Amino acid sequence: MKIRTRIFMVVVIMGVMICGVGGIAVYFANNFSDKVQQLEEASARAFAGEHLNRLVTAVVMDARGIYASETVEQATPFAQGIMASLDKIDAHLQQWRTIIEPDEVQAFDGMLARTAEFRTFRAETARLGQIDPAQADEQGNNDANRANRKAYQAEIDAVIAHDQERFDVIKVELDSLQSTLVPVVAGTTLLGLLLGVAAAAYVVTRYVAQPLAKVTRVMGSLAEGDLAVEVPYAGEKNEIGEMAAATPSSSPSRV
């Protein structure tokens, strides 16, 4: 086999190793990217729940403003605040729905139903506040309504807790993947480099350096007049063999 063919084979082997290392790196990079995206989505869902809680609290605080008002003029800004927050809740839930997980649909739909009840009740509080704050106080400022609102926020908290739990799991998986990524890629790269260097060193030493050294010694002997010296590699079908065959000697050798 020609020396250049052997060298080409070494280059091909090193190329395959490089592709393998690149493939492993791409695999881990894709997994890492997927986990980061999952983490961001879980974080967004948890934030959405917290934001809904803040909007609900804003409605409750405006309702309390109505309860404390003595005139319609005093209650009207709070009533307007309630309706504005309720509209924000509707818009927020529509946006939130686009990022929920399939296993959250049932809990989310239950929360939507509770939200519809909350909106109906609080919209009535706002309406009454612009007619007679005392009627609004009687309608909303009672234990039954407070219990209903607490149950509603408990459902929101349950959805948040589910998303927070998922966030924590993904975070652990991401940390584990990150701690594995560098050693695996670095180790694979080093192994590929060592194997490539070893293969190249073997081919160069076994099929180039050693034969050339032997042929060089023979040519030195011939130059000194020793025509009986055996010329090694004269029968090889490669560049060294061609060089040896072209060397004048009475004793060719295939070694």
Predicted confidence (pLDDT) per residue in 41-89, tens digit: 888 888 898 999 999 999 999 999 999 999 999 999 999 999 999 999 9
Q: How do the domains of the chain map onto residue ranges?
A: 14-184
Query: What would the mean pLDDT of 174-194 be, rounded to a whole number?
Result: 79
- CATH value of 14-184 in 3.90.79.10, 3.40.720.10, 3.30.1280.10, 1.20.120.1730: 1.20.120.1730
Poorest-pLDDT segment among 61-70, 71-80, 188-197, 238-247: 238-247
189: number of CA atoms within 13 Å, CB side? 8
What is the share, in percent, of the chain residues with pLDDT greater than 70?
96
pLDDT above 70 for 37 = yes
The 8 Å CB, 24+ separation contacts for 247-251 are 247/215, 247/218, 247/219, 247/222, 248/222, 249/218, 249/222
How far apart are the C-alpha atoms of 252 and 255, rounded to whole Å? Answer: 9
Query: In the prediction, which pLDDT does 62 show?
Result: 96
Q: Show contacts of 9-13: CB within 8 Å, 24+ apart.
A: 9/203, 10/196, 10/199, 10/200, 10/203, 13/195, 13/196, 13/199
Overall pTM > 0.85: no
Which range (81-85, 164-168, 191-195) has the least confidence?
Answer: 191-195
In tens, the pLDDT along 17-35 reads 778 777 887 887 788 888 8
